């Protein structure tokens, strides 16, 4: 196309650039400032609902590609035998930590009568339909949402009982779970053997760290790490992983502890979402029975969705 | 600035290509992630599209695809829209005669464009507090995604170049056979 010096060719493009840039910055500012129930977050939730069927189809179509990706990612664990043993090992490690937690709690508190069982958790199974649509967030999408009673903040476990994340956003029939290995994840946890509390945090490279453990605290490689229940984000006693390495320089105040997660990211296809404790659900059902004389069955169904399994 | 060397993609081609990119991002990208790095099909298409179209269409497509990416992914809404708007505008404003000299230049240009997009996105996330370790992100995400996007961008480029070869001025067709 010949250049015409009388016609300002670059002006429309430049104006458009300016308009789109301002619009993007305004959207970004609103997004950061508004709460999780704001209109932009609601819009994304709507998009998740609309795209959920597409993601479901993608999960089926992408299975062969995923197998190739897994092969490249884990060349050393390519045989089915090794994979089976690894899954079995993860399951046993998780069970061992849970059993140890029960044993220690029983030892300390057996004298107290009427102790409420903190581990009677209700959970609902869900299928993973997408694992991270982008490289910047360690998230998975599962195929159940508000229709199954899910809400933002519910903890998510792998099938072997290890904590893998927390629901970040939820739509009618799908939910996005941010994994514990993501750098935006982090909550109170303690070392099971000595009950020292710290903060576990994910990182960009997917490595879990237990932070703020003082230098004089005795920690051993292999010590189980579990949620402490502080802050009420996660129930107490959920297995996160075990200590993989410890670094401590004399000048440091805190130890640098790397945690090996029980549930390795990307290996699970089904997950369990903790919807509440058994005691809470029974109480809610009882309240519903006494207050709702009409006996609305739908409220009871909402408290105990289809596919509910004991935790 | 329009040029006389690169073929011009039709609006229909841009629309169809954009839709396919969105579908690929939703359906295929998570499945072909390597070391937890999923490709960004929308960035790839926005870059290649900008090489084949004028400023207005390239910038508009960049903004829309960026917005779609922000809605699909879990980052801040508007972040990728801003990146793709700037990148698409910059590419479409360049003198494309220089880009079309050889395949090596084109491949290098795609790689650089993908890198520019990813590094801008990383910087944005760091500024708004979504990413607290920029340099670790640079090594773990920007570089792998750039390589991945560069490769996919090259494939998209070859397809677009092939499908739009009749839109190229006659005098230059022999160069691309």
Residues 6+ apart with CB under 8 A from A25: B78, B82
Which residues does chain A have within 8 Å of residue B77's beta carbon, measured at their own beta carbons?
27-28, 30-31, 40, 43-44
β-pairing verdict for A208-214 and A175-179:
unpaired
Whether the per-residue pLDDT at B66 is higher than 90: the answer is: yes
CB contacts of A264 in chain B (<8 Å) are none
User: Are the beta carbons of A31 and B76 separated by less than 8 Å?
Assistant: yes
Whether residues B36 and A132 touch (CB distance < 8 A) is answered with: yes
B11-169 is classed CATH 3.40.50: no
Please name which of A141, A24, A31, A207 lies closest in space to residue B121, comparing C-alpha atoms.
A24
What pLDDT is stored for residue B12 in this prediction? 86
CA distance A83 to A174: 28
Q: Which two tokens stand for residue A111?
A: 């004298």
Asked if A28 contacts B76 with a C-beta cutoff of 8 angstroms, the reply is yes
CA distance A264 to A160: 11
Q: What is the pLDDT of residue B46?
A: 93
Give B78-96 pLDDT, tens digit per residue: 999 999 999 999 998 887 6
Is residue A95 assigned to a domain? Answer: no
Chain A positions in Cβ-Cβ contact with residue B135 (cut-off 8 Å): none
Q: Give ∠ CA B107-B112-B118 in degrees, rounded to 5.
A: 130
> Could you tell me if residue A109 is inside a domain?
no
Residue with tokens 């790490």, as numbered in its chain = A225
CATH of the domain at A195: 2.40.10.350
Q: What mean pLDDT comes out for the span B121-128?
A: 87
pLDDT at residue A267 in the model: 65
What's the gap between Cα A207 and its chain centre?
A: 15
What's the confidence (pLDDT) of residue A64? 73
Mean pLDDT of B86-108: 81
Q: What is the mean pLDDT of chain B?
A: 82
The closest CB to that of B78, out of A28, A137, A178, belongs to A28
Contact B22, B16 (CB under 8 A): no
List the one residue out of B79, B85, B75, B87 whose CA is nearest residue B114. B87
CA distances from A214 to A199, A219, A227, A297, A304 (A): 12, 10, 18, 52, 43
pLDDT of A19 reads 94
Which ranges of chain A have pLDDT less than 50?
1-3, 111-118, 289-311
Domain ranges of chain B: 11-169
With respect to residue A257, please indicate whether it lies within any of the assigned structural domains. Answer: yes
Q: Is residue A52 part of a domain?
A: no
Residue B1 pLDDT more than 60?
A: no
- Tell whether B60 lies on the interface with A, counting CB pairs under 8 A: yes
CB–CB of A27 and B85 under 8 A? Answer: no
> Residue A67 has what pLDDT?
66
Domain membership of residue A248 as a residue range: 186-261
Q: Work out how many domains chain A is built from and give that number.
A: 1
The answer to whether the Cβ–Cβ distance between B33 and A135 falls below 8 Å is yes
Contact B32 A68 (CB under 8 A): yes
Q: Which of A23, A49, A132, A136 is the best substitution to test chain B (most B C-beta atoms within 10 A)?
A: A136
Q: What is the pLDDT of residue A285?
A: 53
Query: What one-character DSSP code corresponds to residue A211?
Result: E
Q: Do B27 and A62 touch (CB under 8 A)?
A: yes
pLDDT of residue A1: 45
C-alpha closest to that of B137 among A149, A100, A136, A82: A136
| Whole-number pLDDT of residue B79 | 93
């Amino acid at each position: 196309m010949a250049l015409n010096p009388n016609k300002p060719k670059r002006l429309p493009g430049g104006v458009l650039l300016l308009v789109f840039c301002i619009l993007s910055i305004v959207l970004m500012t609103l997004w950061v400032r508004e709460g999780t129930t704001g209109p932009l977050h609601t819009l994304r939730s709507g998009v998740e609902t609309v795209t959920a069927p597409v993601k479901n189809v993608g999960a089926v179509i992408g299975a062969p590609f995923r197998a190739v990706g897994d092969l490249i990612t884990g060349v050393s664990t390519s045989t089915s035998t090794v994979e089976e043993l690894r899954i079995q090992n993860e399951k046993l490690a998780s069970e061992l930590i849970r059993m140890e937690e029960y044993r220690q709690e029983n030892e300390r508190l057996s004298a107290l009568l009427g102790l409420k069982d903190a581990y009677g958790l209700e959970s609902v199974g869900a299928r993973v339909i997408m694992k991270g649509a982008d490289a910047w967030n360690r998230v998975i999408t599962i195929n159940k949402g508000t229709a199954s009673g899910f809400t933002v903040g519910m903890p998510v476990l792998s099938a072997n009982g290890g904590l893998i994340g927390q629901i970040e956003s939820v739509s009618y029939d799908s939910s996005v779970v941010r994994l514990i290995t993501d750098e935006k994840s982090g909550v109170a946890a303690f070392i099971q053997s000595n009950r020292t509390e710290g903060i576990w945090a994910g990182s960009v490279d997917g490595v879990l760290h237990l932070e703020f453990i003082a230098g004089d605290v005795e920690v051993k490689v292999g010590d189980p790490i579990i949620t402490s229940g502080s802050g009420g984000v996660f129930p107490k006693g959920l297995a996160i992983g075990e200590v993989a390495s410890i670094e401590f320089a004399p000048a440091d105040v805190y130890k640098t502890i790397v945690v090996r997660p029980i549930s390795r990211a990307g290996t699970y296809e089904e997950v369990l979402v903790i919807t509440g404790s058994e005691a809470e659900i029974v109480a809610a059902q009882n309240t519903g029975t006494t207050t709702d004389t009409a006996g609305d069955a739908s409220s009871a169904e909402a408290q105990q969705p289809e596919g509910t399994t004991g935790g | 600035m329009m040029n006389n060397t690169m073929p011009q993609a039709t609006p229909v081609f841009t629309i169809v290509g954009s839709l396919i990119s969105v579908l690929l991002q939703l359906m295929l990208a998570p499945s072909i992630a390597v070391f937890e790095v999923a490709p960004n099909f929308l960035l790839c298409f926005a870059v290649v599209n900008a090489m084949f179209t004028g400023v207005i269409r390239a910038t508009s497509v960049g903004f829309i695809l960026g917005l779609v990416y922000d809605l699909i992914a879990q980052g801040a809404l508007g972040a990728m829209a801003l990146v793709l708007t700037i990148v698409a505008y910059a590419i479409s404003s360049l003198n494309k005669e220089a880009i079309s000299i050889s395949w090596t230049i084109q491949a290098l240009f795609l790689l650089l464009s993908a890198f520019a997009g990813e590094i801008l996105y990383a910087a944005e996330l760091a500024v708004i507090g979504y990413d607290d370790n920029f340099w670790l992100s640079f090594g773990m995400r920007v570089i792998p995604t750039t390589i991945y996007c560069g490769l996919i961008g090259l494939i998209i480029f070859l397809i677009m170049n092939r499908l739009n070869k009749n839109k190229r001025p006659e005098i230059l067709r022999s160069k691309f056979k």
